[in-house]
Amino acid sequence: MTEFFEVVAKAAVLVFVVTCMVTAGLGLSVRDVVAPLRRARLVAFALIANFLIAPAIAVALTSVFALNESYAIGLLLLGAAAGAPFLPKLASLANGDVAYSVGLMLLLTVGTEAFLPITLPILIPGKSADTWPILQSLLLTMLLPLGIGMAVRGRSERWSAQLRPWFAVASNVSMVLAVVLLLGLNFDAVVGTFGSGAIAVATLFVLILTAIGYAAGGPATTTRSVLAVGTGQRNVAAALIVAQQIGADATVVVMLLVATLAGLVVLVPAARWFARRPDGTPDNTKIVSEPIHQEVAPMTTQAHRGHA
């Protein structure tokens, strides 16, 4: 029975990532995604926060706190892995610039492709990773579904408007199912981290990165909120692939799960707080197209109910 639920959990994660990307693509054009990335200052701050500061914070925390070696490896992997597929969902919760969140997610994910294999031997001496498995996962689960959604929107906005709510519901349901199953399957291991400092360090890691992202996100709340949640939420999928490549033990995977759950506990309320900021309304999100404005509210409500 456990093996069955493990298969269902993996399927739920895959469905969540794919439907999340399709949902984003159905509401955006290529121009919508590319336009925010022309803001050189925001792009530079995003790269610095995610590929210089985040790994440095992970190294600092593992040095200051006496973590189990496997927990430390998990945190270091997350420090070098940016571009979580959950970012557009968090951006919607925060009433942020969804187009910027998609562009940022793609930028950080592609950056992770180059950054993680190069820095892995430095962060974890004696370990190395192959780029292709990460790139393959990126292409099949993120870029392809996003491209399909954008192609449908480019061909027929009426079709995209009709399909988008269905994919949004599938994304929300699969997200809740994946979290519940992963937590249930690893409950004993997660409980075993109590008293080890892993949960506290993971939560502190997310809090620090979220604050740094918010400070670096420019004057508009719609971009500050996106960079905040985009920096705080790490790419656990890429980290898991690398963990498998280097033969990491199950405790590393547990740390990745604990850090992911800690991220959700911190970032979902943070996103709701950002949404209540005076200029954090959809009307100020200049680049997001009209279908996204129509879907932000229901997606926010569904996601909130899923975490309630």
Task: Read off the pLDDT of residues 212-270 as tens digits, 9 standing for 90 and up.
Answer: 999 998 888 888 999 999 999 998 878 887 887 787 777 888 888 888 888 888 999 99
Residue type, 79: G
Lowest mean pLDDT among 20-29, 178-187, 196-205, 272-281: 272-281
Predicted local distance difference test score (pLDDT) of residue 279:
57
DSSP 8-class letter at 35: G
Cα–Cα distance for residue pair 43/227, rounded to 1 Å: 10
Q: 2-307 maps to which CATH number? A: 1.20.1530.20
Contacts (Cβ under 8 Å, ≥6 apart) of 168: 19, 23, 295, 298, 299, 302
Q: Is 295 helix (H, G, I), strand (E, B) or coil?
A: helix
Closest Cα to residue 229, out of 215, 210, 257? 210
Q: How does the average pLDDT of the chain come out, rounded?
A: 82
What's the count of helices (H) and strands (E) in the chain, helices before strands? Answer: 16, 0
> What percentage of the chain exceeds 90 in pLDDT?
27
Q: Which two tokens stand for residue 254?
A: 């547990």
Residue 57: name the closest of 212, 238, 253, 199 by CA: 212
Sign of CA pseudo-dihedral 156, 159, 164, 167: negative
Binned at pLDDT 50, 70 and 90, residue 142 comes out as: confident
Domain ranges of the chain: 2-307
Confidence at residue 63, expressed as pLDDT on a 0 to 100 scale:
92
What is the tens place of the pLDDT at every residue in 83-136? Answer: 887 788 899 889 888 888 888 888 898 888 888 888 888 888 877 777 777 777
